Each structure stands twice: as structure tokens, then as C-alpha cells.
Chain A
Amino acid sequence: MSDKLTKYLPRMGWIQPVLGALALILLWAFAHVAQLVDPVLLPSPLESWNAFVEGMTEGTLGHDFWRTIVRTMLSFAIATLIAVPLGVALGSSNKLYRSVEFLIDFFRSTPASAMFPLFLVFFGIGEEAKIAVAAFGAALIILFNTAYGVMNARQLRQLAARVMGASRTRILWDVTIWESLPQTFIGLRSGVSMALVIVIVAEMFIGSSDGLGKRIIDAQMIFNMPEMYASIFAAGALGYVMNMLFTLIEARFVHWGGK
């Protein structure tokens, strides 16, 4: 009996996370039925799920969902295009890196939300401000990680290329950048999460007409709690799927990572 269990359990590795999620939903349902929390604040899981499905199929949740994806991806793309080349440049010059290390560290530690007003002044309250501030936050993380990856690339492979007659630029292209890819990907993955966080907050507070952030704050204003939970769930699912996609891309592009 227990033999059988140990034999089947590993194969059903997916079942544990599902059990965890199920437990949370049951707890929620129980809290709702037992009225542990004011039912206005905590609708039943089913109500929330219905709000989600309805919003996605008939309502505007699908549109807001899409708007948030577009903003996040746009800011992430801008951040990547700027930060990866810059990170490689910084990482391959020790002097250059030393001279901007403090700036990067400082701004990396500054909450991006504290920068909202600044970006508003420069970009107005339109679309640009949201995308710019999210791109800024993501770019810092990507920049730091890329530079770090390039700087800490193992010496031996670069020496191997040098002894073959590779020039410094060739070594950078053929060895160092590849060597830094695992770290760069860590930066990209954290960067996309950061972009999503900032986009949602920006949608909440920088006059937006759509997006998940706007939707969540609107639902909260009128105490439409099922709607609010549905939107939060959508945001969570979005973040989760993005992260998973990135892990897949990473496994494909950096197939040698950790080996």
C-alpha cells in the first residue's frame, strides 16, 4: 500500500500545488459561509469566479487585461533594448562600471513609485508616463544583472578564446556575452515582473482609463468586491504566466545554465 503510494506520488508532482490552491479556496469558502469576515468584503469564491468569467467573456475585463499586457510588454521591450547593450558595455569596462555603480545601486533602491511625479512632469499624464516609469524600473534591474553577468564571467573560456587568436571584441561577442546570459536572464525575468508591478500601480494612480490597475481601484471605490477579486486574480495569473513563459524561454536559450 505505502509502496504503491511512493511509486505514484512522484509521478503526480502536479497534485501538491493543486492541493494547496484547493485548500486556500476551501478556507475562503469556509470563511465566507461562517461569516468570519463581512460578506460584503469577502464574497464567495464562486461569485468571484463568475465575475472573472463574465468579465472575460462579456464584460471589459478582457480589454483591461490586454491593455495591461501591452503596457507591460512595451515597457519591458524598451527596457531590454536599452539596458542589455548598456549592461554589456558597463560590465566589460571595470572603470566605467565603478563610476556608475553607485548611481545604479541608488536608483535600484529607490522605489519606482517615488519617481511617478517626476515622470508625470516630464511625460504628462498620458500613456507615455506609465510606460516610461515601468521601463525605467525594469531597465535598472536588467542593467545591473547584465553588467554583473559580464563582469563575473569566468576567465578560463575567455583565455581559451584569446589563445586561439580572438580579439577583445571577438571574445566579448563569442564568449563573454554567452557566459553572462544566465545572469542576464535572471535580470530579464525580474525585470518583466517589475514592469508589471509598476504598470499596475501606474494604472491605479496615474489617470488611466483602462488596465487591470484601474479596474481594481474602480471596483474598490464602489465596493464591487467580486469584481475586485476577479481583477486581482487576473493580475496574479498574468504575472504567473509571464514568469512561466520566461522560465521556458530561458531553459531553451540558456540550455547549458547550471551544467
Chain B
Amino acid sequence: MTRPIPPKADGADLSPPAEISAGGDAPAASGDLADRLRWFAPGTHITIRGLNKTFADGTVLYRDFDLDLPRGKVVSIFGPNGCGKSTLINMISGILDYDSGQILFDGKTARETKIGYVFQNYREAGFPWLRAIDNIRYPLKFLKLSQAEKDARVEKLLASFNVSIDLNRYPYELSGGQQQLVSIMRALVIEPEVLFLDEPFSALDYEMTLFLRDKLQSVLTEMQITTLLVSHDLDEAVELADEVLLLTRKPTSVAARIPFTAPRPRNAEITVTPEFIDVKARSLEIFQREVRKT
């Protein structure tokens, strides 16, 4: 069963905005392609159609790439080094331009969608001139909310994370893990429709990683946000995921999609269950097959 994308006022918008701030005035799609673009599985949130990305040096990364991503689920993206995981989520989130193709969120562009993004490099992504609490508050200024509503949002978020950091400090006065926690809260405070995380824990020590993973896990279970997580740690990718998305080497395509349906909330103990081990083993096998291909 399929259902149509709510048509946009100006018809299907096939080419990406030349610049992110512009957009919406691209030429309409022609016959066949437009039909193909209109259809997707129920429960889908993000649709990617005919995506092309070639770098200036001639590297073809994505060619005619299609993907549907489900609403309210966590999808972990896993694949060989340099296969284009970051590039993919950067194109989806609107940070990076693509050559052609279409990426829509319920028929909306990235610009029209509330997006949270957690970068790997928390040191260079936070605003060091703002106190931690003001970093968390900052994205709220782009929402039309009253001051009281904004304060309530922040309060609610802090309550659900239940952390004991002094948020009146500046980011550089916090530990790496605390800084990344602030980044995660900054991404979530707007109650985003979609959350992107690009190797959010890979610069942290193991103890901090486990702690943040648990926090993120429980908050995501509570908030039900469509989430795309890039991780190079297969345990982490599986533990947090409703589905593991495995990518091939470039030019990149989807190697496999493996669902993981264990109940939430989950914690590190899940890693010893048969279902987890099975999903991990299958993922690993496909991953190794892809890595061996030349």
C-alpha cells in the first residue's frame, strides 16, 4: 500500500536549492519521474529520490540514490570508511548541497523542517561565547514561541535529561562528555522533527559514551523523533537502532536494511540477547562483504 506525498503548491521540486536559503522555485518535474517521486511506503517520513552527488575532483559518491526513512524511528547508518555516511546526512539535513535529486520530509524541504544536528566535533560546534545554558536555548530563537513557552521547553528538557552539570559555565569549562551532552540538548530543545547525529560519541571515553548512549536512548524513546545516527561502533549502532542501514563502498548504495525490534528502553545489557547478537552478526557479515569488494 502506498500513499501520495502531499503535493507542494508549486509541484514537485526536483532540483535542490542552489543555495540553502533560496529554493522552492525550481522547475517542475516531467511525467514519469514525477510519478515515481510521488509514491512511498506508509509511515515514511523522509523520501530521497534520484540523489546525485559528485565532488569537484570527479569522485562520484551518489548516483541515482533512492531511500525512504520511517517516521519516529532510529535508523543507524553503518558502512565502510569514507563511503559517504556524513555526506549523506549532511545532504539530507540541508548542510551540504547536492547536484540533483530530491529530498523531502513529508513533502517539505529541509529548510521547512525543524532539524536537530549533533556533530562529532563538539568543540567546534558549540558556541564558546555563550554559556552552556544559552547554547541550549539558542535554537529556540528561530521558533515562534513566547518567552514562557521557551523557558518551559528548556525546563522540560533539563528534567528529562536530569543532569547535574553547572550550565552557567562556558562550554570550554566543561568536560568533553558534558559538552557533547550540551550539544545533544541544544539539538533536542526545539523538539525537532528529525534528529541527525554524526558519530556523536566517537571523541569521548568509553564510560562517557555508555552514559550518553543511555541518556540518548531513553530520551529518544520518550520523544519518538525520526533519528539518523551515523556510528562506526556496531554495538552502538545496533543498540540504539530500530533499523540498521548498511551502505556499500562508493558509488554508494544501500547494501541492506536490518530491523532490530527489541523493546525499549534498552541498555548495554541488550548486547547479550540472542536477537541483538543475530542482528549484529548479519550486519557484520554484510559489512565485511562490502569492505572486501574493491
CB distance from A251 to the nearest CB of B (A): 13
Which chain A residues border B121 with CB–CB below 8 Å? 156
Does A103 reach chain B (CB closer than 8 Å)? no
Kindly state whether residue A259 has any CB partner on chain B within 8 Å: yes
List B contacts of A256 (CB < 8 A): 128-129, 170-172
Interface 0/1 of A145-169, CB less than 8 Å to B: 0000000001011011011111110
Pairwise interchain contact A156-B125, C-beta atoms closer than 8 A = yes
Interface string of A238-259 (1 = CB under 8 A from B): 0000000000000000011001
Q: Does B32 contact A (CB under 8 A)?
A: no
Type the 1/0 row for B123-135, where 1 means its CB is closer than 8 Å to any CB of A: 0111111000000
Residue of B nearest to A160 (CB): B125
Min Cβ gap B226→A in Å is: 15
Q: Could you tell me which residues of chain B, from 72 to 128, have a CB within 8 Å of some CB in chain A?
A: 93-95, 111, 114-115, 117, 119, 121, 124-128
- Given A159-B95, A160-B119, A256-B172, the answer on whether A165 and B111 have CB atoms closer than 8 Å is yes
- Known contacts A165-B111, A166-B142; is A255 also within 8 Å of B125 by CB? no
Task: Please give, as numbers and ranges, the residues of chain B lying within 8 Å of A154 by CB-CB distance.
Answer: 124
Range, interface on chain B: 20 to 34
Residue A160 contacts which of B117, B170, B172 (CB distance < 8 angstroms)?
B117
A residues less than 8 Å from B20 (CB atoms) = 162
In this complex, what residue of B is CB-closest to A254? B129
Q: Nearest-CB distance from A40 to chain B (Å)?
A: 56
Residue on B with the closest CB to A177?
B129
In the bound complex, do residue B172 and residue A157 qualify as a contact, i.e. CB atoms below 8 Å apart? no
**Dominant secondary structure at the B interface:** loop
- Residue numbers in B under 8 Å from A175 (CB-CB): 127
CB of A157 to closest CB in B, whole Å: 6
Q: Tell me the dominant secondary structure on chain A's binding face.
A: helix
Q: Are B111 and A259 in contact (CB under 8 A)?
A: no
Name the residue among B138, B171, B190 with the largest chain A CB count within 10 angstroms: B138
Q: How far is the CB of B202 from chain A (nearest CB, A)?
A: 16
In the complex, the answer to whether A156 meets B128 with C-beta atoms within 8 Å is: no
Residues of A within 8 A of B171 (CB): 256
Q: Which of B124, B129, B139 contacts A178 (CB 8 A)?
A: B129
CB of A1, distance to nearest CB on chain B (Å): 39
- A165–B187 Cα distance when bound, in Å, is 12
Complex: A174 Cα to B117 Cα, angstroms: 18
With a cutoff of 8 Å between Cβ atoms, the chain A residues found around residue B128 in the complex are 256, 259
Q: In the complex, A11→B21 CA distance in Å?
A: 55
Please, how many angstroms separate the alpha-carbon atoms of A78 and B233 in the complex? 56
List the A residue with the shortest CB-CB distance to B111: A165
Which B residues are CB-close (under 8 A) to A160?
117, 119, 125
* B-facing residues in A121-171 (Cβ within 8 Å): 154, 156-157, 159-160, 162-168
Q: Are A163 and B93 in touch, CB under 8 angstroms?
A: yes
Collect the chain A residues with CB atoms within 8 Å of residue B127's CB.
Answer: 157, 174-175, 178
Q: Which of A157, A159, A166 has the most CB of B within 10 A?
A: A159
Assembly CA distance A185 to B121 (angstroms): 26
B95 in contact with A163 (CB, 8 Å): yes
When C-beta atoms are compared, the residue in chain A nearest to B93 turns out to be: A163
| C-alpha spacing A256/B124, complex, angstroms | 12
For B190, the chain A residues whose CB sits under 8 A away are 164
Contact with A along B32-56 (1 / 0, CB 8 A): 0000000000000000000000000
Residues of B within 8 Å of A159, CB to CB, are 95
Structural contact, A168 and B21, CB atoms closer than 8 A? yes
Closest Cβ–Cβ distance, residue A27 to chain B (whole Å)? 44
Q: Give chain B's interface residues, CB within 8 Å of chain A.
A: 20-21, 93-95, 111, 114-115, 117, 119, 121, 124-129, 138-139, 142, 170-172, 190
Would you list the 10 A-B pairs with minimal beta carbon distance, nearest first?
A256-B128, A165-B142, A259-B172, A164-B139, A156-B124, A163-B117, A178-B129, A159-B95, A160-B125, A156-B125
Could you pull out 14 A-B pairs where Cβ atoms are within 8 angstroms? A156-B125, A159-B95, A162-B20, A163-B93, A163-B94, A163-B117, A164-B142, A165-B111, A165-B114, A167-B21, A174-B138, A175-B127, A178-B129, A256-B129
